[in-house]
Structure 1
């Protein structure tokens, strides 16, 4: 799947960038997705929330080690 394919499917620019970065990185933290996609971290949270609503992403909450 390419950026252009996702745009044709109705993704906006940020959604496509975040989705592709997440696919490439696999399970990771939002900071890495943000850096890889070039979308700032604050926007990335909003984009990921929209992708979750569409059933295209999921998040895993992990507790920090102390």
Structure 2
């Protein structure tokens, strides 16, 4: 029976923390757009994330040797 004096206040403290976290999340806009991230992953991005740089001076572009016919 003595354990109830510990468990009931502990449960109330955890309840208050959970309610405070939910109120904070709803006020900060965490639940406003639930479908956007799901559709965003399906969209095809045409823009590359890493910009390509041209070949350095004196170097040929990657794969350029493969396109040239072999010399006789």
- Normalized per residue, the structure richer in helix is 1
Q: Please, what TM-score do these two structures have when normalized by structure 1?
A: 0.25
Task: For CA contacts below 8 A with separation 6 or more, give which structure has more relative contact order.
Answer: 1
Q: Please, what TM-score do these two structures have when normalized by structure 2?
A: 0.23
